[in-house]
């Protein structure tokens, strides 16, 4: 989806389905997320739904801390019928997009079930600023646990002040917010009756090369030669980066903003990861119906990229790889690529709310370092890219937040210990996932119990079931949406 968004991506591409950033949002300081491909432009959709502000606790786990802040939320009362349920769409690693108050599968369900709809923006993203800046000290208040407590307090206060305490609340989320939706039901079962946890990576892991393994399989599903050609191109580029004599030509081939400089393995890894991101983003959001939220690039699909990579008239695989990069630049109206790792460090260490990475990049990468990992490395032979190993990803945690590799590993272990990873003990949570989406590798793709069902949708990508129905939807996607509705209908009777 995209109101929520998407994180460390190129150290991590997570992606809130409601993601709002593109691979070419390079000014964002190489925002790495669940999806940079999701550049969303404001089409004044926010004018329809008033921004509302909730007085939220700053630190839910320190009773001696009475500080509060204002958290942004939206309401849609159009479908509410007295006695009906309350739907809560959970915000993620990006600004809450009011387009989701107008369209989306959850509103189709709301209309049928007479639901009141809320969307709560995640702390530290969008306009929800709990602190004066994004210093590492302040970011210690940014965590999934604090976010869940925000949801709990919001639900409690809204219940008391709006007469909704005894209504049945249903949580919705996609990508990281999908995990939050599942964990909200897991940790606060007295407050939320059911959850739809779409494309939710519930298992934290430091190294996540499986993401790129799924990218290989998803490209191969279109054309068996496609990922092979991508690998040849990536290998060729990685080899040329070892020879400074090639830098001038590479600068021209990929339309770089300044002459390529490779002075360290970090410089090389950053450049290689940036270009791989073209394919990662397109695969993740392949054919998702994201146009309503202002997303660009929805016409660029796996079929399009593999078409370029298979076009022998363009030259060798390396030349076709460069053509893909230029295609993406044209799509997002990017004049040139800034491949400077030093510029990225500068942007990511800027702690101002007006900084180039304050849209989400600095915050989400912090969450990957302090909770989740999710580093999409090339540490597997069964994937199409070269040159950005786990070490490159983890070193950024030390550079940006003084978090060591050992601390990242410990944080990830604590996350799985706290939430249970794949071993979720709860009820009334449905886990939709798409086979094309690389994030399904960390999700629930088989039923845990009858009360914890999985909906695995072949041929679909990240959060596909959350987007509005389209005329070209696969039959199994339509069936999945219907099945989820029937589950909600059944659970709301319990």
pLDDT above 50 (res 57): yes
Examine residue 227 and state whether it is found in any structural domain, yes or no: no
Q: Is 471 a catalytic residue?
A: no
pLDDT above 90 (res 186): yes
Examine residue 252 and state whether it is found in any structural domain, yes or no: no
Examine residue 449 and state whether it is found in any structural domain, yes or no: yes
Q: Taking residues 113-122, what's their average pLDDT?
A: 98
How does the average pLDDT of the chain come out, rounded?
A: 91
Higher pLDDT, 14 or 307: 307
Q: Is 129 a catalytic residue?
A: no
Of the spans 43-57, 276-290, 454-468, which averages the highest pLDDT? 454-468
Q: Taking residues 403-407, what's their average pLDDT?
A: 99
Q: Are 34 and 14 in contact (CB under 8 A)?
A: yes
**What's the confidence (pLDDT) of residue 292?**
81
pLDDT above 50 (res 7): no
Q: Above pLDDT 90, what percent of the chain?
A: 87
Q: Above pLDDT 70, what percent of the chain?
A: 90
Q: Which of 14-18, 119-123, 147-151 has the lowest mean pLDDT?
A: 14-18
> CA triplet 229, 235, 238: central angle to 5 degrees?
140
**What's the confidence (pLDDT) of residue 2?**
32
Work out the number of other CB atoms within 10 angstroms of the CB of residue 427.
17
Q: Taking residues 163-180, what's their average pLDDT?
A: 98
Work out the number of other CB atoms within 10 angstroms of the CB of residue 476.
16
pLDDT above 50 (res 346): yes
218: which 2 tokens? 């998803």
Q: Residue 111 maps to which CATH number?
A: 3.40.50.1820
**What's the confidence (pLDDT) of residue 297?**
82
pLDDT above 80 (res 15): no
pLDDT above 50 (res 148): yes
Examine residue 295 and state whether it is found in any structural domain, yes or no: no
- In 241-264, which residue ranges form alpha helices assigned H by DSSP? 247-253
Choosing from 221, 268, 462, 473, which is the catalytic residue?
Answer: 462
Q: Is 316 a catalytic residue?
A: no
Please provide residue 53's backbone torsions phi and psi, each rounded to the nearest 5 degrees.
Answer: -130, 130
By residue count, the chain amounts to: 494
What pTM, to 2 d.p., does this model score? 0.92
Examine residue 235 and state whether it is found in any structural domain, yes or no: no
Choosing from 150, 281, 288, 437, which is the catalytic residue?
Answer: 437
| Long-range contacts of 44-48, Cβ-Cβ distance < 8 Å, separation of 24 or more | 45/97, 45/98, 45/99, 45/102, 45/293, 45/294, 46/98, 48/98, 48/101, 48/102
**What's the confidence (pLDDT) of residue 13?**
42
Which residue segment(s) compose the domain that 95 sits in?
A: 1-219+342-494
409: which 2 tokens? 């590993």
Q: Taking residues 15-26, what's their average pLDDT?
A: 39
**What's the confidence (pLDDT) of residue 80?**
97
**What's the confidence (pLDDT) of residue 35?**
41
Q: Are 15 and 38 in contact (CB under 8 A)?
A: yes
Q: Taking residues 376-394, what's their average pLDDT?
A: 98
Examine residue 433 and state whether it is found in any structural domain, yes or no: yes
* Total tally of structural domains belonging to the chain: 1
Q: Are 154 and 55 in contact (CB under 8 A)?
A: no
Distance from C-alpha of 152 to C-alpha of 119, rounded to nearest angstrom: 13
**What's the confidence (pLDDT) of residue 291?**
86
**What's the confidence (pLDDT) of residue 368?**
98
**What's the confidence (pLDDT) of residue 298?**
85
**What's the confidence (pLDDT) of residue 31?**
33
Higher pLDDT, 147 or 43: 147
Examine residue 262 and state whether it is found in any structural domain, yes or no: no
**What's the confidence (pLDDT) of residue 25?**
33
**What's the confidence (pLDDT) of residue 17?**
61
pLDDT band at 293 (very low <50, low <70, confident <90, very high): confident
Choosing from 11, 22, 175, 195, which is the catalytic residue?
Answer: 175
Examine residue 331 and state whether it is found in any structural domain, yes or no: no
pLDDT above 60 (res 393): yes
List the end-to-end C-alpha distance of the chain, in Å, as a whole number: 29
Please provide residue 171's backbone torsions phi and psi, each rounded to the nearest 5 degrees.
Answer: -95, 140
pLDDT band at 26 (very low <50, low <70, confident <90, very high): very low
Q: Taking residues 421-431, what's their average pLDDT?
A: 98
Q: Taking residues 85-93, what's their average pLDDT?
A: 98
- In 355-389, which residue ranges form alpha helices assigned H by DSSP? 361-367
């Amino acid at each position: 989806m995209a109101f929520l968004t998407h994180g460390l991506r190129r150290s991590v591409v997570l992606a809130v389905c409601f993601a709002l950033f593109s691979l070419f949002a390079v000014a964002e300081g190489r925002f790495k997320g669940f999806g940079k491909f999701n550049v969303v432009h404001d089409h004044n959709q926010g004018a329809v739904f008033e921004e509302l502000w909730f007085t939220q606790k700053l630190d839910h786990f320190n009773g001696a801390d009475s500080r509060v802040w204002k958290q942004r939320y939206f309401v849609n009362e159009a479908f509410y019928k007295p006695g009906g349920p309350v739907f809560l769409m959970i915000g993620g690693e990006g600004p809450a997009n009011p387009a989701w108050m107008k369209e989306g599968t959850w509103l189709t369900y709301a209309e049928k079930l007479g639901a009141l709809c809320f969307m709560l923006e995640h702390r530290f993203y969008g306009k929800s600023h709990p602190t004066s800046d994004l210093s590492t000290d302040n970011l210690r208040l940014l965590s999934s646990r604090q976010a869940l407590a925000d949801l709990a307090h919001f639900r409690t206060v809204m219940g008391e002040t709006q007469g909704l305490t005894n209504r049945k609340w249903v949580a919705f989320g996609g990508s990281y917010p999908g995990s939050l939706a599942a964990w909200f039901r897991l940790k606060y079962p007295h407050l939320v009756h059911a959850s739809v946890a779409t494309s939710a990576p519930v298992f934290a892991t430091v190294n996540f090369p499986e993401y790129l393994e799924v990218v290989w399989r998803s490209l191969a599903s279109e054309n068996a030669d496609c990922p092979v050609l991508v690998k040849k191109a990536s290998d060729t580029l990685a080899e040329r980066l070892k020879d400074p004599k090639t830098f001038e030509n590479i600068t021209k081939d990929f339309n770089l903003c300044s002459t390529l400089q490779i002075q360290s393995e970090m410089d090389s890894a950053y450049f290689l990861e940036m270009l791989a991101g073209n394919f990662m983003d397109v695969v993740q959001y392949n054919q998702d119906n994201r146009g309503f939220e202002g997303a660009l690039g929805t016409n660029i699909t796996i079929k399009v990229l593999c078409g370029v990579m298979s076009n022998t008239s363009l030259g060798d695989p390396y030349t076709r790889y460069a053509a893909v990069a230029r295609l993406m630049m044209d799509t997002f109206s990017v004049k040139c690529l800034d491949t400077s790792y030093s510029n990225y460090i500068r942007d990511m260490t800027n702690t101002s709310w007006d900084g180039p990475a304050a849209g989400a990049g600095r915050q989400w990468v912090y969450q990957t370092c302090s909770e989740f990992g999710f580093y999409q490395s090339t540490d597997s032979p069964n994937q199409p890219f070269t040159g950005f190993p786990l070490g490159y990803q983890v070193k950024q945690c030390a550079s940006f937040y003084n978090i060591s590799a050992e601390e990242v590993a410990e944080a990830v272990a604590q996350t799985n210990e706290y939430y249970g990873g794949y071993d979720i003990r709860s009820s009334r949570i449905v886990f939709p996932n798409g086979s094309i989406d690389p994030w399904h590798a960390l999700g629930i793709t088989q039923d845990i119990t009858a009360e914890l069902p999985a909906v695995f949708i072949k041929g679909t990508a990240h959060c596909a079931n959350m987007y509005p129905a389209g005329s070209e939807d696969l039959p199994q996607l339509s069936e999945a949406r219907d099945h989820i509705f029937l589950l909600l209908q059944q659970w709301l009777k319990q």
